[in-house]
Amino acid sequence: MGVEHPHTWEQAVDWLRQQPDQQSLVQHCYYDDPLETAVERFYRSEEWGAIEQLLGPYLQEKVLDIGAGRGISSYAFAKAGCSVVALEPDPSIIVGAQAIQFLADRTELQIEVVQEYGEGLPFADDTFDIVYGRAVLHHAHQLDRFCSEAARVLKPKGVLLVTREHVLSKEEDLQKFLNAHTLHHLYGGENAYLLQQYTQAIDQAGLRLKRVIGPWESVINYAPMTRSAFCSMMTSILARRVGQGLAQKLASSEIGQRLFGRYLSYRSHTPGRHYSFLAVKA
């Protein structure tokens, strides 16, 4: 029999917000109030800037934000000019559908709120240009069905982008990840999958994977660390091998950053590290 977790996700986040020593994490997770300030900070973040660059011409189209939480990504897509449907099963006024509806009412942006799970999308085939999820796929009760539903509602040539998904090197690492997670002991809702499980589910849904982005290959995954902090870390590590001058030169190069990020991602086996996936519907 599993351990009972008496708290809801809302109660877990509310607990976190009351801890004086956790305020940096609260801000990094965009759980702080007022909500309008939190979502605007995400919109101006390097993470969102990298997402905009990755999606490019697909912005200004119709977006399904699955597992939209309190609406930070829905807000960003809507502010970028997209028509957004925010799918969020939790009704919470703090971290769920009511929070998103409050945000939509206050900002008058094009955000429609739907309370449902990703495994059973209440939309017709070929409806959306983009299906997006931030840290949501690892919560799927049925990973294959979740990806199949996402593929079904995408238009031909539409894009699936799921970001900051928790990845394991081996299944035995799951408990290590859960033990280390700040909120899992309160509500019991965290999870992680093997990298191969994510890629197979996306592939079997009939989507073509275009990019698998490792934990250190993009600020999308390593935020709240900034690109500047990443480059400083890169310089520090390389300086011990190639000298300060060459290390700084490599760290200032986009190609150098990309190759170093790929190397670090290959070497990383931290349970629950972040990966992102970009796929296209044929």
Helical H runs in the chain? Answer: 9-17, 23-28, 35-43, 46-55, 72-79, 97-107, 143-153, 174-180, 184-187, 195-204, 219-222, 227-242, 244-251, 254-267
The pLDDT score that the predictor gives to residue 186 is 87
Residues 6+ apart with CB under 8 A from 11: 186, 187
**68 with 87: CB under 8 angstroms?**
yes
First to last CA, the chain: 43
**276 with 154: CB under 8 angstroms?**
no
Residues 6+ apart with CB under 8 A from 33: none
Nearest residue to 165 via CA among 144, 125, 185, 194: 194
The pLDDT score that the predictor gives to residue 6 is 53
Show pLDDT as tens, one digit a residue, over the chain (282 residues): 344 555 899 999 999 999 999 999 999 999 999 999 999 999 999 999 999 999 998 888 999 999 999 999 999 999 999 999 999 999 999 999 999 999 999 999 999 999 999 999 999 999 999 999 999 999 998 999 999 999 999 999 999 999 999 999 999 999 999 999 999 988 888 999 999 999 999 999 999 999 999 999 999 999 999 999 999 999 999 999 999 999 999 999 999 999 999 999 999 999 999 999 999 998
Give, as one character, the DSSP assignment of residue 282.
-
Q: Which CATH architecture has domain 9-219+269-281?
A: 3-Layer(aba) Sandwich (3.40)
Task: Tell me the one-letter amino acid at 282.
Answer: A
The pLDDT score that the predictor gives to residue 27 is 97
The pLDDT score that the predictor gives to residue 1 is 37
Query: Residue 127 and residue 98: Cα distance in Å, rounded?
Result: 24
Q: Where are the domains of the chain?
A: 9-219+269-281, 223-264
pTM score, whole prediction: 0.95
